[in-house]
Amino acid sequence: MAGRTHALARSRRVEGPSPDPCPVVSRASRQCQLVTAILARSGGAASGGWIGDGEGAEQAEGTSIGPRTFVIYGIIMEAIEDEAPDEMVDKAGQTLIVPEVGMAFKSEDQAYEMYNTYAGKVGFSVRKSHTKRRVDGSISQKYIVCSNQGYRESESSQDTKRAGCNARIHRETESSQDAKRTGCNARIQFSVNREGIWRVQKVVLDHNHDFASPNKSHKLRSQRRVIEADKRLISQIREAGMKPAQVYEFMKEFYGGADKMPFPRMGCNNEIGWQRKKYLEPNDAQTLLEYLKNKQIEDPTFFYAIQVDEVDGQIANFFWADSQSIMDYACFGDVVSFDTTFQTDKLEMPFAPLIGTNHHMQIIIFGAALIFNESVESFVWLFETFLTAMSGKHPSTIFTDQDATMAGAIAYVFRNTSHRLCLWQICLNAAKHLGHVIQKHSEKFVHDFKKCVYEDRSETLFIKMWHDLVTEYNLEDNQWMADLYNLRKKWAAVYNDSFTADMTLTHRSEGMKNVFKKKFRRKLSFSEFLVEYEKVSASLRENELDADFNSCRKNPVIYIPNLPLLKTAAESYTRRVYSEFEEEFKQQFSFSCKLLQADGSNLTYMVMHMQSVHGATVVFNKENMTITCSCRKYESIGILCMHALKVFNANDVFILPSQYILNRWTKYAKRGFYIEKEGTETEDLKMRAARISRKVASISLKCSLSKDLLDYLEKAINKLDLEADNSLSKIEEKSNEGPSV
């Protein structure tokens, strides 16, 4: 077999002080050496080089000459695939550290890193081999060898003899079954003293096989590593919601193609799997407790409480709310939705968020609970704890599902609060109990059912519509419908006598449920659940910030630009609420308005849709500009209804009375409320590192138009890398120093 040799250029030492007899070599404490390597498919010859010394010496660009510095100037000859075997191409500027006897390292990792980096540049793979230990078990000697060292078990002893090597047979360590070892003797031998210093004792640089070409060196086994920066990036894109199968494709694009990838698909998948394992803590209760304590350290106004079972002393329930949630409740705590139908983890423990709606009609979180024991006592404890966190403020309305235990606790704690049933939950239950009707009549029954549920003009009309519904679909004997009718005052719109902030609409309730169900659709461990909860909370708050910005910076397009009533509404309401108000304003033009009675300044009107014989009764006082409607939309939602706006129009009222602009729907609903946090003026190290990383990426893109700029940038980064290693080494040495006596 033709030999393959890696030869160093001849060199001589630059004048200067003699080297330290026991140097600890690291990237930060030595100059990189330029080396000449012959990468031909057959035959090898050493290539000469030289170094200069003194002021008259010629110097390679980008290198420095000084005391205790080796400088080797040369080129790497690289075989180009698909060309004649003896064709060579010069590739200048390749820099690597060549192993030499006497080099010393602080740890096994540093020693391995040096040799593996060298191997990657030259084009071979390495693996750890023999280890010799002292009597006390500490390592005294270690070999790191070329991966082609020795022979496989599958290779016959005759093949071994023909190769002229008596090396013992090693077990297979490469992933490829058909890969052949060649009995290569290239290796590096370390001796390790009792202080843990790894010193190069022997080096063999000659190989008896071809090297991998540069465009394939990243596929070598020892080069397929996921570095810390890649791990961080993989973690971040996984946290952003990217599926595992998509992560590797993203990384390929990030690095510019599969041939540029520093690790294989399996390495990427292994890293994702390892990150998942981080969440598998055995003690879930302790994990949550530590989470809550850490949150309170970060946020001094963070509130949490734990209920302990009096019988067995075990933790029963958790509740927590951060400062943002407490402030949001102070602003928008008039309506609360409470739901325990979310299953969070492998223990199937209910997660119960307390949810509301902000001035953009978006979902906000007032607090969260984990319920171990769904008893009346547990719910009473939870609701009382919630009131404690919120300074005793009771909501006007609370929405829940049809749970008798929960209803009893609400009646006991929230005595001044209207308890309403969630219409979205009722519609879901209707699909379960009336599936045969829905299947037979498809969308018609659903339409008629919802029309009846949302009927708000009069109780008489609601009762008539309900009986018509039951009769038309032969549901007179259906027990579920009978039970639902008995509870009608808790869910029917016509019986609503409290503020609901439009949370009665099923699509809003469904949106609230989906926010969590999308995140908690799979079985989560405790820690994974906490991470997902944080992400949901952060996402909702980011949505609010976006809506705040758009409402303050962008004016909506007004339906009738010169109408003062709409202009006032557009200037006052958030964009989302103005859209709802304008829709009500437009709807009035499909209604007729008939005066029924005039009693002094009080005018009573019947407002009806042109295609209906039923309408809403509106009473308007011309003196104090007060108006009420039988549909009670303003009392329930806080926005004037189409019926009231029709009466305003009939009486030439073109300015929106200020008493009908509810502050909780305006752009400035949170004015006067703020969160006082400590330490928010300065960014932490993680935030600063992320900002600098973004800046470096931006600079890299700027330089991508010029090879010279990229070369300059890379040299600067390499220099900073060395300086960082040096500084970290000094910090580590200082931390390891014992106290002075």
pLDDT band at 242 (very low <50, low <70, confident <90, very high): confident
Residue with the bigger pLDDT between 376 and 275: it is 376
Residue 117 lies in a domain: yes
Residues with Cβ within 8 Å of residue 666, at least 6 apart in sequence:
359, 572, 573, 574, 577
pLDDT band at 702 (very low <50, low <70, confident <90, very high): confident
Highest mean pLDDT among 63-67, 70-74, 375-379, 622-626: 622-626
pLDDT value of residue 95: 61
For residues 114 and 139, membership in a common domain is answered with yes
For residues 206 and 112, membership in a common domain is answered with yes
For residues 646 and 708, membership in a common domain is answered with no
- Note down the domain range covering 269: 224-277
pLDDT value of residue 193: 92
Given a cut of 80, is residue 665 above it in pLDDT?
Answer: yes
CA within 13 Å, CB half, 403: 17
Given a cut of 70, is residue 343 above it in pLDDT?
Answer: no
Q: How far apart are CA 563 and CA 676, in angstroms?
A: 41
Residue 53 lies in a domain: yes
Per-residue model confidence as pLDDT tens digits over 450-475: 788 777 777 888 888 889 888 888 88
Q: Which two tokens stand for residue 319?
A: 């509740």
Residue with the bigger pLDDT between 682 and 708: it is 708
C-beta of residue 149 within 8 angstroms of C-beta of residue 163: no
pLDDT band at 594 (very low <50, low <70, confident <90, very high): very high
pLDDT band at 153 (very low <50, low <70, confident <90, very high): low
Residue 627 lies in a domain: yes
Per-residue model confidence as pLDDT tens digits over 292-317: 788 878 788 889 888 876 665 566 78
Residue with the bigger pLDDT between 376 and 678: it is 376
| Residues facing residue 204 across a β-bridge | 187
Highest mean pLDDT among 161-170, 471-480, 731-740: 471-480
For residues 57 and 105, membership in a common domain is answered with yes
pLDDT value of residue 496: 80
Residue with the bigger pLDDT between 156 and 29: it is 156
Given a cut of 80, is residue 421 above it in pLDDT?
Answer: yes
C-beta of residue 121 within 8 angstroms of C-beta of residue 145: no
Mapping DSSP to helix (H, G, I), strand (E, B) and coil, where does residue 146 land? Answer: strand
Residue with the bigger pLDDT between 411 and 8: it is 411
Residue 462 lies in a domain: yes
Average pLDDT over residues 59-75: 31
The average confidence (pLDDT) of the chain is: 75
Residues with Cβ within 8 Å of residue 664, at least 6 apart in sequence:
331, 332, 334, 359, 501, 638
pLDDT value of residue 11: 30
pLDDT value of residue 45: 33
Helix (H) or strand (E) holding 538: helix 526-553
Q: What is the 3-state secondary structure (H, E, C) of 293-358?
A: HHHHHHCCCCEEEEEECCCCCCEEEEEEECHHHHHHHHHHCCEEEECCCEECECCCCEEEEEEEEC
Residue 15 lies in a domain: no
pLDDT band at 55 (very low <50, low <70, confident <90, very high): very low
Rg of the chain (C-alpha set): 38
C-beta of residue 297 within 8 angstroms of C-beta of residue 360: no
For residues 500 and 593, membership in a common domain is answered with no
pLDDT value of residue 589: 93
Given a cut of 60, is residue 400 above it in pLDDT?
Answer: yes
C-beta of residue 655 within 8 angstroms of C-beta of residue 564: yes
Q: How much of the chain exceeds pLDDT 70, in percent?
A: 72
For residues 202 and 57, membership in a common domain is answered with yes
**pTM more than 0.85:** no
pLDDT value of residue 506: 43
pLDDT value of residue 470: 87
For residues 195 and 144, membership in a common domain is answered with yes
Residue 469 lies in a domain: yes
Residue with the bigger pLDDT between 76 and 145: it is 145
pLDDT band at 329 (very low <50, low <70, confident <90, very high): very high
Given a cut of 80, is residue 174 above it in pLDDT?
Answer: no
Q: Which range among 10-24, 126-140, 227-241, 405-419 shows the weakest confidence by mean pLDDT?
A: 10-24
pLDDT value of residue 701: 80
pLDDT value of residue 74: 29
For residues 454 and 566, membership in a common domain is answered with no
Average pLDDT over residues 487-494: 83
Per-residue model confidence as pLDDT tens digits over 190-210: 999 988 899 999 999 999 988
pLDDT value of residue 313: 59
Residue with the bigger pLDDT between 246 and 349: it is 246
For residues 460 and 569, membership in a common domain is answered with no
For residues 218 and 228, membership in a common domain is answered with no
For residues 482 and 568, membership in a common domain is answered with no
Residues with Cβ within 8 Å of residue 96, at least 6 apart in sequence:
32, 33, 35, 117, 118, 121, 122
Q: How much of the chain exceeds pLDDT 90, in percent?
A: 26
Out of 232, 253, 277, a domain closes at 277
Residue 498 lies in a domain: yes
pLDDT band at 522 (very low <50, low <70, confident <90, very high): low
Given a cut of 50, is residue 611 above it in pLDDT?
Answer: yes
Q: Which two tokens stand for residue 333?
A: 């705590």
Distance, CA of 498 to chain centre: 38
Residue with the bigger pLDDT between 614 and 99: it is 99
Q: How far apart are CA 498 and CA 720, in angstroms?
A: 65
C-beta of residue 340 within 8 angstroms of C-beta of residue 352: yes
Given a cut of 50, is residue 63 above it in pLDDT?
Answer: no
Q: Which two tokens stand for residue 316?
A: 């029963």
Letter string b/e over residues 543-562, b meaning 16 or more CB atoms within 10 A of that residue's CB? ebeebbeebeeeebeeeeee
Letter string b/e over residues 108-131, b meaning 16 or more CB atoms within 10 A of that residue's CB? bebbbebbbbbbbbbbbbbbebee
Q: How many structural domains comprise the chain?
A: 5
Given a cut of 90, is residue 152 above it in pLDDT?
Answer: no
Residues with Cβ within 8 Å of residue 658, at least 6 apart in sequence:
none
For residues 99 and 139, membership in a common domain is answered with yes
Q: How far apart are CA 734 and CA 127, in angstroms?
A: 33
Given a cut of 90, is residue 587 above it in pLDDT?
Answer: yes
Residue with the bigger pLDDT between 81 and 555: it is 555
Neighbour tally for 728: CB within 10 Å: 12
Residue 176 lies in a domain: no
